[in-house]
């Protein structure tokens, strides 16, 4: 997605870098306190508490005038620290439907000894906010909470009902997932016409110029598989040809060599069409591939751009290995984990069957590693959703192109697939080209980007719910 955006350098750009130079407005100061409280509440799986963060946000909404009946802090007894918050701002027209704001409270692990600054203290320095979750995704969570407060305190309610769900478990595939739980157990609380989620955003150049805004429309499914080879083993002084490690290695080389067929969605066709405007080999290959999706050579050349390759088709890559039990013994077992990012429309079972076929060795056992998550629905480019995003982008970020993009990763939006509720990753918050340290060290986001994104998203939500 970022690679396609980076390919639009020929389009008009607007300088927007640097620190947030103006004095903070009073409403920005109030928002900053929400953001600070979220960042400074540890919500890692190992030591954190999503339920505590949910309760803190519920307290802020309660203080803003929300009734207890419209605030729901939900936690399973066996997962007391992995709770969620659902908040509801009722619209004036019950027939007008609802919009759901979605966010995950949990963050990736962060060790103080590895970071330059305390990861669980919000630090503003050099035009950036630093801290775990500053970019992924407590900034957007704070915007959602702040938006509900501002709309609640307005003189008139919005016409359409606005809901918010802040959940836990997005960052750890094997953990309890609050969005999944809500869809399965409290669907009535989060029922909506469409969902606004993470996954979109904006891209800045290295010197801070706005390059593109992206709307996430669809995402791949993430699924891991375990490959296992077993063997009687024996003494290493008596080697035998059927070595479990070698047999597994041969299987993995076949997985590496396999290329899944090129596929397109309405969204990726648009993005690839823009990428094809670049006059390099990958761009020229994309032009041929868009005209003939069965052109294998064009697909091979287009995929030399890693960003194109990530969303051109299903991808499977080996991520972990484990083998042997002693230095002086032949291995009795060798295992590998192959992580696949599955293109919309393909299934987990179909991908497993493809791996078995490609390997072609019945002695290599291929198992799906639980949990098996739902496949995300591929939402339409609905003008009623996309139109306001583009119109308000022209007002807030004039001259910046807005493109739809499919994510090669995965978000909690996938859990809404079975409910057939379309999910869109919102644009508005611009990030640096290096990813802002999300999931890594010294995570950060530009102060100006966050405040400008807040203004844009507030206007966007108002447009959807008919607020004045």
What pLDDT, in 10s, does the model give residues 72-96? 999 999 999 999 999 999 999 999 9
Q: What is the pLDDT of residues 427-444, one digit of tens each?
A: 999 999 999 999 999 999
Give percent of the chain with pLDDT exceeding 90. Answer: 89
How much is the pLDDT for 410? Answer: 86
pLDDT band at 377 (very low <50, low <70, confident <90, very high): confident
* pLDDT in the model for residue 11: 27
Provide the token pair at 173.
Answer: 């595939």
Nearest in space to 133 (alpha carbons), one of 125, 121, 148: 121
Give the range of the structural domain holding residue 304, as residue numbers without chain letter. 221-368
| Overall domain count for the chain | 2
Three-state DSSP at 293 gives: coil
Q: Is the pLDDT of residue 19 over 50?
A: no
In the predicted model, what is the mean pLDDT of residues 242-249? 97
| CATH number reported for the structural domain that contains residue 305 in this entry | 3.30.70.360
For residues 461 and 191, what is the distance between their CA atoms, to the nearest angstrom? 17
To the nearest whole number, what is the mean pLDDT of the chain?
93
Regarding whether 166 and 285 lie in a shared domain, the answer is: no
Same domain for 79 and 136? yes
Report the C-alpha gap between 29 and 451 in whole angstroms. 10
pTM score, whole prediction:
0.88
At which of 309, 337, 368 does a domain end? 368
- pLDDT-based confidence at 325, cuts 50/70/90? very high
Same domain, 177 and 229: no
Instruction: Say what the alpha-carbon torsion angle 54, 162, 220, 203 is, to the nearest 10 degrees.
Output: -90
pLDDT score at 23: 54
**Is the four-CA dihedral 124, 129, 133, 139 of positive or negative sign?**
positive
Q: Is the pLDDT of residue 145 over 70?
A: yes
Does the structure show a pLDDT above 80 at 13? no
- The predicted pLDDT at position 10 comes to 27
What are the DSSP calls for 311-331, one per residue?
A: HHS-EEEEEEEEE-S-TTEE-
Does residue 164 have a pLDDT over 50?
yes
- Tell me the three state secondary structure of residue 128: strand
The alpha carbon of residue 95 and the mean position of all alpha carbons in its chain are separated, in whole angstroms, by 31
- CA torsion angle 308 313 319 321 (round to 10): -140
Phi-psi region of 389 (alpha: psi -120 to 50; beta: other; left: phi over 0): alpha
Q: At which residue do the structure tokens 């611009």 appear?
A: 430
Q: How far apart are CA 328 and CA 343, in angstroms?
A: 43
Whether residue 349 is found in the same domain as residue 447: no
Given a cut of 80, whether residue 299 has pLDDT beyond it is yes
Question: Does 248 share its domain with 212?
Answer: no
Q: State which of 368, 403, 422 marks the end of a domain.
A: 368
Mean pLDDT of 322-335: 97
Confidence of residue 24 (pLDDT cuts 50, 70, 90): confident
Mean pLDDT of the 127-145 span: 98
CATH number, domain with residue 457: 3.40.630.10
pLDDT tens for 37-65 read 999 999 999 999 999 999 999 999 999 99
Stretch among 231-245, 303-317, 370-384 having the lowest mean pLDDT: 370-384
Q: Which of 347, 368, 389 is the last residue of a domain?
A: 368
User: Do residues 264 and 293 make contact, with C-beta atoms less than 8 angstroms apart?
Assistant: yes
pLDDT at 139 over 80: yes
User: Does one domain contain both 189 and 233?
Assistant: no
Gyration radius of the chain's alpha carbons: 24
> Are residue 351 and residue 255 in the same domain, yes or no?
yes
Same domain, yes or no: 306 and 243: yes
Q: How far apart are the first and last CA of the chain?
A: 34
Which pLDDT tens digit goes with each residue over 184-201?
A: 999 999 999 999 999 999
Same domain, 240 and 199: no
Q: Give yes or no for a contact between 338 and 224, defined as CB atoms under 8 angstroms apart.
A: yes
> Residue range 144-171: average pLDDT?
97
What's residue 436's pLDDT?
95
């Amino acid at each position: 997605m970022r690679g396609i955006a980076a390919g639009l350098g020929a389009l008009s750009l607007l300088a927007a870098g640097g620190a947030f130079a103006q004095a903070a407005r009073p409403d920005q100061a109030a928002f900053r306190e929400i953001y600070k409280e979220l960042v400074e509440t540890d919500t890692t799986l190992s030591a954190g508490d999503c339920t505590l963060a949910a309760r803190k946000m519920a307290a802020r909404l309660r203080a803003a005038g929300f009734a207890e009946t419209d605030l729901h802090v939900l936690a399973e007894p066996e997962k007391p620290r992995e709770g969620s918050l659902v908040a509801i701002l009722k619209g004036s027209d019950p027939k007008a439907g609802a919009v759901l704001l979605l966010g995950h409270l949990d963050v990736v692990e962060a060790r103080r000894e590895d970071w330059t600054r305390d990861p669980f203290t919000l630090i503003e320095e050099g035009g950036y906010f630093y801290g775990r979750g500053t970019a992924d995704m407590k900034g957007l969570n704070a915007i959602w909470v702040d938006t509900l407060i501002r709309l609640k305190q307005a003189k008139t309610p919005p016409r359409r009902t606005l809901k918010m769900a802040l959940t836990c478990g997005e960052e750890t595939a094997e953990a309890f997932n609050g969005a999944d739980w809500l869809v399965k157990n409290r669907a009535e609380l989060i029922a909506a016409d469409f969902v606004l989620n993470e996954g979109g955003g904006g891209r800045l150049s290295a010197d801070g110029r706005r390059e593109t805004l992206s709307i996430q429309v669809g995402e791949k499914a993430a699924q891991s598989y375990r490959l296992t080879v077993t063997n009687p083993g024996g003494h290493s002084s008596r080697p035998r040809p059927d070595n479990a490690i070698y047999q597994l290695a041969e299987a993995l080389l076949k997985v590496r060599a396999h290329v899944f067929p090129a596929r397109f969605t309405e969204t990726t066709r648009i993005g690839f069409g823009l990428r094809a405007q670049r006059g390099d080999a990958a761009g020229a290959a994309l032009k041929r591939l868009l005209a003939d999706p069965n052109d294998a050579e064009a697909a091979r050349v287009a995929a030399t751009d890693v960003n194109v390759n990530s969303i051109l088709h299903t991808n499977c890559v080996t991520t972990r290995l484990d083998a042997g039990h002693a230095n002086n013994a032949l291995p009795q077992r060798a295992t590998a984990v192959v992580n696949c990012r599955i293109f919309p429309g393909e299934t987990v079972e179909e991908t497993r069957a493809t791996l078995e076929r490609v390997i072609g060795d019945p002695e290599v056992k291929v198992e799906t590693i639980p949990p098996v998550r739902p496949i995300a629905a591929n939402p339409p480019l609905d003008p009623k959703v996309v139109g306001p995003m583009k119109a308000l982008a022209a007002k807030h970020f004039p001259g910046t192109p807005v493109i739809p993009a499919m994510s090669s990763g995965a978000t909690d939006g996938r859990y809404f697939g079975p409910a057939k509720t379309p999910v869109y990753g919102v644009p508005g918050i611009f990030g640096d080209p290096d990813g802002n340290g999300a999931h890594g060290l010294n995570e950060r986001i530009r102060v100006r980007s966050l405040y400008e994104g807040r203004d844009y998203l507030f206007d966007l939500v108002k447009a959807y719910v008919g607020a004045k």
